[in-house]
Amino acid sequence: MKIITGNDLKSGAVTWWNGAAWSLHVNDAADMGDEAADVIAAEEAARRVNGAYVIEAEQTADGIRPAHIKERIRALGPTVRLDLSLDPTATPDKVL
Amino acid sequence: MYLYDHYDQAMVDARVAKFRDQTRRRIEGTLSEEKFRPLRLQNGLYLQLHAYMLRVAVPYGTLSGAQMKMLGDIADKYDRGYGHFTTRQNIQYNWIKLEDTPDILADLASVEMHAIQTSGNCIRNISADQYAGATADELIDPRPYAELLRQWSSFHPEFLALPRKFKICVIASDTDRAAMRLHDIGIQIVKNEAGEIGAAFYVGGGMGRTPFIAPLVKAFVPLDELITYSEACLRVYNRYGRRDNKYKARIKILVHELGVEEYSRQVEEEFAHLQTLAIEPPLAELERIKTFFADPAYEADLSDDLDLSNPAFAAWVKNNTAAHKTPGYAIVNISLKPIKVLADGTKEAGIPGDATGEQIRVMADLAKTYSFDELRVTHTQNIVLPHVRKADLFTVWEKLVAADLAEANLDKITDIIACPGLDYCTLANARSIPVAQKIAERMADKAEEIGELKLKISGCINACGHHHAGHIGILGVDRKGLENYQLLLGGCEGADTSLGKIIGPGFDEDGIVGAVEKATQVYLANKEGEERFLDTYRRIGMNPFKEAIYG
């Protein structure tokens, strides 16, 4: 699947496009297919997101798993400070 | 310590007001990200993996207690309760909100601090020896010259759009504690044969993807021409440094491609021209600056005796304090590389360079009470209390113990430099911090036996973790989507600066920890006399290490 991520303009928080709005949780991300470019353009113009881009991910039994480790770290938090993660189930193994 | 005059304060306050307006316009939509990005970067605000990151300048690593306290308060008020001290003697916050940033900058300005020129292709924060003004092994205190360079380089209109970023370091000791020769310009204050004090200029050093040790470009520049000669070095670079290729844009490439002789010749030509323009600041300004760096009111006739009957205190004194120029005083190093022993006996290493808001305030209070209100940030991501009475050392140590800040491991294998790596940084290819933690936990019990061993880890080729200069260096790379770590041996950043060499194929995270352990075993099996790891490596070469690690 292809999902959109970016950072909230004001807070800088990592956000994920859920099909209608931005969510802080990767598991809310919507599979965007070919619509991504239009969404990114509109949302950046509306200043609701900064630096949005499309990434590859897969739906797993545990939720949505971004393909690249960098995006998994963005989704779950620094592996060395998972106490700061928004996902209470986050573990280094889950990130890696 | 230098105190702002009304010009300094007015410039910083004006910048805060300007950035507040720019931020408002960005949020309201009249300023695009494309236009805003360079403006926020000029104020140290990056967009990193998880949030905005704010890098705050600590000029030549020197801070007052009030400034340090403010850094702790910012960590609690605007971030997530901690900050990260960097290899540039600065501090970074990892979870900053854009909408809070003008207020943070205003808070910083209230204690004479800012984030200006902590990013971008300009002259960055001037770095210096963290023992400046306190150690007996320096010629003179280099900080007035670092401050003069700070004033000269701040908002210098000609050098705000250099081909690439530019880092200057000033030391006044043969014992280089600041990686001087790995800077764009490294300045060492020296004495010539006539007994005059001047500055030796080393130009074109650096790490990154193409590391170079800065060659000596001029052995003696009179101190009253320091700025003029610096300006000449920068002008030649600004004119001829490559702007067509970001990866070849640093001055080290220019010096390498032109050759030292030709670069020096061009600098001399420019220097001669600049001398006719009388750009050197008036001597009165230097004298004014020097008054801020006069010795504090040391007590006379203090005893150097210490009660070392407490073994943990004795170990800390041995490893973490250094000789002070004044009898009865010591330089205290506070390690930000803690290792906790858990109830089951396992060890848990902290994150190199991180300190909580509370810990930062503890260090601020200690400085105020016991170190003439002064602290230093080191490029090894530790903190220094430069002037502590030996009679106060035990009390200081007890307070550090209570704050989990008393790890007695300075310059040991567990005192690891690590960049933020892939856990925080958008540029990184691999994580640095977990590798540092695993190595520290594995090697903690052997650290004392191994002795001095400087281990440095970078999560990408940009080398913020100084891996080229580690006795053992580790470079994280991306190998087909997986983190992989290359091992380097033989780097050094001191008076005998050298660049590490890659030993062979890389390792995964656990593999690199094992490889480091094997390297230390080779050292212990081969060391002669008082040799450090680096000395043994230099004597026996790479092969015994290679055989043990890959054999």
Among residues 36-65 of chain A, which lie with CB inside 8 Å of chain B?
44, 47, 50-51
State which residue of chain B sits closest to A82, comparing Cα positions: B423
User: What is the model's pLDDT at position A94?
Assistant: 81
Chain A partners of B50 at a C-beta cutoff of 8 Å?
12-14, 74, 77-78
Tens of pLDDT, residue by residue over A27-62, are 999 999 888 999 999 999 999 999 999 999 999 998
A89 has pLDDT over 90 = no
Q: Is B149 helix (H, G, I), strand (E, B) or coil?
A: helix
* CB–CB contact A73 B27 (8 Å): no
User: What is the model's pLDDT at position B10?
Assistant: 97
* CB–CB contact B99 A10 (8 Å): yes
A83 touches chain B (CB under 8 A): no
Boundary of a domain, candidates B347, B370, B402: B402
> Same domain for B84 and B226?
no
A87 has pLDDT over 90 = no
User: What is the model's pLDDT at position A96?
Assistant: 84
Alpha-carbon Rg for chain B in angstroms: 23
What is the C-alpha to C-alpha distance for residues B240 and B105, in angstroms, rounded to an integer? 35
Residue closest to B384 by CA, chosen among B368, B367, B372, B400 = B367
> Same domain for B280 and B144?
yes
Confidence of residue B481 (pLDDT cuts 50, 70, 90): confident
> Same domain for B87 and B209?
no
Chain B partners of A79 at a C-beta cutoff of 8 Å?
423, 431, 434
> Same domain for B287 and B141?
yes
B385 touches chain A (CB under 8 A): no
- The CATH number covering residue B385 comes to 3.90.480.20
> Same domain for B81 and B144?
no
- Tell me the H-state helices in B192-279: 226-240, 251-258, 260-275
Query: How far off is chain A from B390, nearest CA to CA, in Å?
Result: 37
A88 has pLDDT over 90 = no
A79 touches chain B (CB under 8 A): yes
Does residue B128 form part of some domain?
no
What is the C-alpha to C-alpha distance for residues B24 and B492, in angstroms, rounded to an integer? 46
User: What is the model's pLDDT at position B412?
Assistant: 98
Buried b (16+ CB within 10 A) or exposed e, B31-51: beeeebbebbbbbbbbbbbbb
What is the C-alpha to C-alpha distance for residues B433 and B336, in angstroms, rounded to an integer? 13
Does residue B534 form part of some domain?
yes
Domains contained in chain B, number: 4
Buried b (16+ CB within 10 A) or exposed e, A16-54: bbeeeebeeebebbbebeeebeebbeebbeebbbbebeb
pLDDT average, residue stretch B429-444: 98
Does residue B303 form part of some domain?
no
Which amino acid is located at B548 in the chain? A
Which are the contacts of B351, defined by CB distance < 8 A and separation ≥ 6? A80, A81, B84, B418, B433, B436, B437
The answer to whether the beta carbons of residues B183 and B499 sit under 8 Å apart is no
* CB–CB contact A78 B481 (8 Å): no
B77 has pLDDT over 90 = yes
Strands A50-60 and A63-66: antiparallel
State which residue of chain A sits closest to B349, comparing Cα positions: A80
What is the C-alpha to C-alpha distance for residues A94 and A79, in angstroms, rounded to an integer? 9
User: What is the model's pLDDT at position A95?
Assistant: 82
Backbone angles phi, psi at A32, to 5 degrees: -100, -20
DSSP symbols for B343-387: TTS-EEE--TTEEEHHHHHHHHHHHHHHSTTEEEE-TTS-EEEEE
> Same domain for B283 and B361?
no
pLDDT average, residue stretch A10-28: 96
B97 touches chain A (CB under 8 A): yes
Beta bridge partners of B356: B82
Does residue B453 form part of some domain?
yes
**Helix H or strand E segment including B62:** strand B62-64
Backbone angles phi, psi at B248, to 5 degrees: -125, 20
Q: Quick check: pTM over 0.90?
A: yes
pLDDT average, residue stretch B474-498: 95
Beta bridge partners of A23: A16
* CB–CB contact B96 A12 (8 Å): yes
pLDDT average, residue stretch B357-371: 98
Beta bridge partners of B532: none
> Same domain for B510 and B541?
yes
Q: What is the DSSP letter of B325?
A: S
User: What is the domain extent for residue B489?
Assistant: 417-550
Q: In this prediction, what percent of chain B has a pLDDT beyond 70?
A: 100
Nearest to A80 among B49, B99, B434 (CB): B434
The answer to whether the beta carbons of residues B74 and B83 sit under 8 Å apart is yes
> Same domain for B101 and B213?
no
SS3 string, chain A, reads CEEEEEECCCCCCEEEECCCCEECCHHHCCCCHHHHHHHHHHHHHCCCCEEEEEEEEEEECCEEEECCHHHHHHHHCCCCCHHHCCCCCCCHHHHC
User: What is the model's pLDDT at position A22?
Assistant: 97
B469 has pLDDT over 90 = yes
Q: Where are the beta strands (DSSP E) in B413-525?
A: 417-418, 455-458, 472-479, 482-489, 501-502
Confidence of residue B41 (pLDDT cuts 50, 70, 90): very high
> Same domain for B477 and B535?
yes
Does residue B494 form part of some domain?
yes
> Same domain for B42 and B80?
yes
pLDDT average, residue stretch A8-22: 96
Nearest to B47 among A50, A78, A80 (CB): A50
User: What is the model's pLDDT at position B494?
Assistant: 86
- What average pLDDT does chain B have? 97
User: What is the model's pLDDT at position A92?
Assistant: 85
Residue closest to B349 by CA, chosen among B215, B283, B442, B417 = B442
- The CATH number covering residue B484 comes to 3.30.413.10
* CB–CB contact B97 A74 (8 Å): no
Query: How far off is chain B from A89, nearest CA to CA, in Å?
Result: 18
A90 has pLDDT over 90 = no
B146 has pLDDT over 90 = yes
pLDDT average, residue stretch B390-394: 98
Mutate: best of B37, B50, B52, B457, partner A, most A CBs <10 A: B50
* CB–CB contact B97 A11 (8 Å): yes
> Same domain for B245 and B278?
yes
* Total residue length of chain A: 96
What is the C-alpha to C-alpha distance for residues B324 and B322, in angstroms, rounded to an integer? 6
Does residue B410 form part of some domain?
no
The answer to whether the beta carbons of residues A7 and A49 sit under 8 Å apart is yes
Confidence of residue B194 (pLDDT cuts 50, 70, 90): very high
Does residue B360 form part of some domain?
yes
B26 touches chain A (CB under 8 A): yes
> Same domain for B141 and B262?
yes
A81 touches chain B (CB under 8 A): yes
User: What is the model's pLDDT at position B237?
Assistant: 98
The alpha carbon dihedral of B492, B498, B499, B504 has a sign of: negative
pLDDT average, residue stretch B216-238: 98
User: What is the model's pLDDT at position B195?
Assistant: 97
Boundary of a domain, candidates B246, B263, B291: B291
pLDDT average, residue stretch B116-139: 96
pLDDT average, residue stretch B36-46: 96
Does residue B499 form part of some domain?
yes
Query: How far off is chain B from A13, nearest CA to CA, in Å?
Result: 5
- Give the residue extent of every domain in chain A: 2-95
